[in-house]
Structure 1
Amino acid sequence: MDAPKSHAIAVAQGVAVIDDVDQNLATLDGLVASAAEQGADVVVTPELFATGYAPDRAWKHDGAAIRVALAAIARSHGIGLVASSVDTVGPAHHISASFFSPEGEELSRVHKRHLFGGVEQEYMTPAAAYGEPVNWNGTSWGVGICYDVEFPEFARSLSVAGADILLVPTAVPRVEEGIEGLGDAWHYSATQISTLQVPARALENGVVIAYANQCGPGFTGRSCIATPFGHNAVLLSDGPGVSVAQVRTEAIARSRIINSYLFDLGSQS
């Protein structure tokens, strides 16, 4: 019988500058270095950080060259790295996320399935399906991007396929909207994705979710690591930072006994 696994997972958030790839990669390198210094085995970084989040411009940069640079960052710090770039396939541009090993090997690259807003939908092409989990360091990992996690089908699909931990780069715009005269119960804040929606996805699917956001003007920050018990083990503020959570696979397994959603879904279908 295999011994239980433990992983130190980090989320990193920072401020990116649109079109300044060199500066953004330098910022990313500093964040990854901080995660490695804190003992992380793997770190998740924000969506389209290397180019800055501007889908109408990000595709103009060399995504392949950016991925070479990202692999070098993972290798230089000896840490697993999840980072986002544009993957151009023929005429199609995809928002992608790559999972690099500590040796700089690209273990997985997935495309964003659910595009957010008119600009993404105009300039990017959605994936036809969610990515498949990848086995690394004795655990099954799934990767998605930003808006994907806001749909129940994403976490359910990956968990049914065997994923234990989901790694999600994101770039959530700041939104505060309410209905006048109806009180707080009728107010929406985009910070609820981190504080409510991501922990709910983790709970209902028996998975850990590491969700790394951009911060600074126009973004919510609040990167988080949610446990399958429906709580955030890590929740950053709205400024730059890195934080690490210890994840034990035996605790994930126990959560699926307490809340047997996945087993009951399969046994009653």
Structure 2
Amino acid sequence: MKIAIVQAALQQSQVAENFQTIQALMEEATTNQPDVIVLPELWNTSFLPEDVKERADEDGKVSRQFLSQFAKNYQVNVVGGSVANRRGDKLFNTAYIYNRKGQELAAYDKAHLFSPAKENGYFEAGEASVTFELDGVKCGIVTCYDLRFPEWVRALALADAQIVFAPAAWPEVRNLHWDTLGRARAIENQLFVVSANSRGPVNGDEEALYGGHSAIIDPWGAYVVTPDLQVGVKYGEVDLSVIEGIRSSINVFNDRRPDIYDV
């Protein structure tokens, strides 16, 4: 499965400009004929502008129409990062996923909200994990801070996910955590982690940057796509036989002890 990861520089609150940026990078990605295009977190508004509720997409309508039409036009699967999504008087950090026909396969509301940045003061937390199939491959998704909760990714692995997508707006100052967590989740769950992060100033502050380092990590913890700091599209291929190989030699799922713990 060929995957293209969009590592974009986004502008806070500048929704129209962000749509243009994302569309241009997605169109660039199609020249490499990927099976899946993956976007970063909150690509419509960037992360937590003060006016996020006003800038949010009502029921995700504009974002959903754009992603669906793009997937259909280019016959490519799209893991739509996430967008600020207003449902009634509540705000959600929602990821939408589309198949090659432009059909919406799943919607995931971020479950773990980043309290140090008061994300939980803006958004409502999601209540359920999500799995879906892309070209017959079982996949799951987590968003940014979710990656710090190993039990959340383990739940996806126990639901037979072979690839876990992780869109994010992760700061460069914590790139060591980002890199380590992605590799740890891949190793401990013996699956592929595909992470898509933003790159560029946080809230216009040139001294505070989103960390880039989007990657594809295999079940051994090795990089298929190596992290970097450059804005653009990153390409890599997932070889699912690697999962079969590691599980035949070190099958942690056979050796689990759910009789003595709940996870």
> TM bucket by the smaller chain?
0.7 to 0.9
CA distance in 1, matches of 2:259, 2:13: 50
The count of aligned residue pairs is 248
Does residue 165 of structure 2 align to residue 167 of structure 1?
yes
CA offset digits 1:16-75 (Å, max 9, x no partner): 112222221111112112222122100111100122222543332323222212222222
The CA deviation at 1:85 is 1.2
2:118 matched residue in structure 1: 119
Aligned to 1:80: 77
* TM-score (norm. length: structure 1): 0.86
1:224 to 215, 218, 243: 215
Query: Contact conserved, 2:77 with 2:134, CA < 8 A, in 1?
Result: no
TM-align CA RMSD:
1.8
Counterparts of residues 213-252 of structure 1 (less than 5 Å): 213-217=197-201, 218-252=209-243
Report the Cα distance in structure 2 between the residues aligned to 1:108 and 1:140, rounded to whole angstroms: 12
Taking a change above 3 Å as real, the CA distance of residues 263 and 164 of structure 1, as seen in their structure-2 partners, is: same
Q: Give per-residue Cα distances to partners, 1:222-264, cap 9 Å, x unaligned.
A: 1111100111111232120212221122221212222211221
2:183 is matched with which residue?
199
Alignment match of 1:59 (pick from 43, 53, 67): 53
Q: How does 1:79-98 map to 2 (within 5 A)?
A: 79-83=76-80, 84-98=82-96
**Unaligned regions of 5+ residues in structure 2, if any?**
202-208
Choose which of 2, 5, 8 in structure 1 pairs with 2:2. 8
Asked whether the equivalents of residues 13 and 241 of structure 1 are also in contact (C-alpha less than 8 Å), the reply is yes
Residue 268 of structure 1, CA deviation: 6.0
Alignment of 1:29-44 (within 5 A): 29-44=23-38
Q: What do residues 105-161 of structure 1 show as CA deviations (whole Å, max 9, x unaligned)?
A: 1111101011113431111011123x2311231110101111101211121010001
| Alpha-carbon separation, structure 1, partners of 2:200 and 2:185 | 26
Task: Work out the CA distance in 2 between the residues paired with 1:256 and 1:228.
Answer: 9
Are the equivalent residues in 1 in contact too, given 2:107–2:130 (CA < 8 A)?
no
Residues 80 and 55 of structure 1: CA distance in aligned 2, closer, same or farther (over 3 Å): farther
1:173-232 CA deviation, whole Å, 9 max, x = no partner? Answer: 232xxxxxxxxxxxxxx1123432101110110110110000012211111111001111
Give 3-state SS (helix, strand or coil) of 2:219's partner: coil
What residue number does 2:193 align with? Answer: 209
The secondary structure found in structure 1 opposite 2:234 is strand
Identity %: 29
Instruction: Please give the secondary structure, in 2, of the residue aligned with 1:149.
Output: helix
Measure the CA separation in 2 of the matches of 1:21 and 1:267.
46
Match of 2:134 in 1: 136
Deviations 1:87-109 (A, max 9, x none): 33343211011111122211111
Q: Is the 8 A contact 2:13 2:49 kept in 1?
A: no
Inter-partner Cα distance in structure 1 for 2:51 and 2:151 = 29
Which residue identity is paired with 1:195? D
Distance 1:124 1:79 in 2: 30
Query: 3-state SS of the aligned residue for 1:248?
Result: coil
